[in-house]
Amino acid sequence: MKDVVRFGICADVQYASMKSDVVKEKRCENVGSGEEQEIPRAGSVERRLAYRAALERLLQAVEVWNKQHVAFVVQLGDLIDGYENDPELSRADLEAVSRAFQGLAVKHVLGNHCRAVRMEDIRKLLSTDRYYYSFQPVLGWRIIVLNGAEQLISAADATESENAELAEVLERQGIIDYAPWNGHLSDIQVDFFRVELDSASRRKERVLVCCHYPIHEDAARKSHLLINHAVVLKLVRQYNTTVVALFAGHDHVGGYTVDHGVHHVTFPAMLEASEGSDGQEHNVEHSPNAFGIVELRANGDRILIQGYGDVPTRVLVAGGAEG
- Long-range contacts of 59-64, Cβ-Cβ distance < 8 Å, separation of 24 or more: 59/100, 60/284, 60/285, 60/287, 60/289, 61/8, 61/10, 61/270, 61/289, 61/291, 61/308, 62/100, 62/101, 62/102, 62/104, 64/8, 64/284, 64/291, 64/293, 64/308
3-state secondary structure of 228: coil
CB 144 within 8 A of CB 196: yes
Residue 157 burial (10 A CB sphere; 0-12, 13-18, 19+):
middle
b/e burial code for range 198-227 (CB count within 10 A of at least 16 → b): eebeeeebbbbbbbbbbbbbebbbbebbbb
What pLDDT is stored for residue 22 in this prediction? Answer: 54
Can you give the pLDDT of all 323 residues of the chain as single tens digits?
789 999 999 999 999 988 666 554 555 443 332 333 334 444 556 778 889 999 999 999 999 999 999 999 999 999 999 998 899 999 999 999 999 998 899 999 999 999 999 999 999 999 988 999 999 999 999 999 999 999 999 999 999 999 999 999 999 888 888 888 999 999 999 999 999 999 999 999 999 999 999 999 999 999 999 999 999 999 999 999 999 999 999 999 999 999 999 999 999 999 999 875 444 444 455 579 999 999 999 999 999 999 999 999 999 999 988 87
- Residue 20's pLDDT is 65
DSSP 138-191: STTEEEEE--TTSB-TT-TT--HHHHHHHHHHHHHTT-----TT--B--HHHHH
- pLDDT reported for residue 197: 98
Nearest to 205 by CA among 144, 132, 133: 144
Superfamily of domain 4-22+45-317: Metallo-dependent phosphatases (3.60.21.10)
- What's the confidence (pLDDT) of residue 285? 52
Q: What is the pLDDT of residue 320?
A: 87
Closest CA to 210 of 133, 271, 277, 105: 133
**Is the CB of residue 311 less than 8 Å from the CB of residue 281?**
no
Q: What is the pLDDT of residue 36?
A: 34
User: Distance between CA 168 and CA 106 in Å, rounded?
Assistant: 35
CA distance 198 to 72: 26
Burial of 310 per CB tally in 10 Å (0-12, 13-18, 19+): buried
pLDDT at 281: 42
